[in-house]
Amino acid sequence: MVLCMVEGLPRVKMITYTAMVIALAVSLRLIKYSLFGSIQFVNFPAVFTIIGGALLGPTSGVVTGFASYVLSDIMIGLPGPWTAVNSILMGGVGFLSGLIWGRNGVKQIGKLGLAVGAYIMLLVFDITNSWALLVIMGFDWFSALIIGIVGLFLPAAGGFLYGVGPITEATTVILIVTLVSVIKRNGFLLRT
């Protein structure tokens, strides 16, 4: 019962808000994919997973992270082993977001703390994601880790963009901080 309520937020509202956050993540990822293809410059599932976890708690964060990747990969038509890895890892990001920022009211979330924490979580997500996928493809764990880290900065394992990891994390964090600031300013979902 405690996991289904965020400081008095009724269960129906919790489910509705979680569904809305998932819908935003999936629809914006689909729009980005249809306009720009697979070029990575912002991670919409991560944006709404972290916001969902911070505003609605760890349970909503897990559900948002997992569902946003599974649903959007299926709708894009590209499900595969990366879908399982991405969705599980993003569910973990959502859970951590709920634990870190969901324990206090939204009023207590500082911009700098949110930015640094989200950036670190997304960097770890990217490295772990690349590492797990390369291990699944048959690389040894150490080589996979090195390629995963190098691939964030240089084109590796078939990539063509330089610095795509840190740039994507930065734009994603800027969007997260901006949206949370707007939510705080407008008093939406503020808990006591």
pLDDT of res. 104? 59
- Domain extent, residue 61, equals 11-186
Please compute the mean of the pLDDT values over residues 57-69 and round it to a whole number. Answer: 94
How far CA 185 is from CA of 3, 46, 109, in Å, comes to 26, 22, 12
Q: Is residue 128 part of a domain?
A: yes
Note if the pTM is more than 0.75. Answer: yes
pLDDT of res. 105? 57
Domain with residue 137: its CATH number is 1.10.1760.20
For the chain, state the CA radius of gyration.
17
Q: Is residue 81 part of a domain?
A: yes
65-96 per-position pLDDT tens digit: 999 999 999 999 888 888 999 999 999 999 99
Task: Give the Cα separation of 89 and 75 in Å (integer).
Answer: 20
Which alpha helices (H) appear in 37-158, and where do they start and end?
A: 44-56, 58-76, 81-101, 111-136, 141-153
Q: Is residue 5 part of a domain?
A: no
126-164 per-position pLDDT tens digit: 989 988 988 998 889 898 888 878 877 776 655 566 767
Q: How many domains does the chain have?
A: 1
- State the average pLDDT for the chain: 84
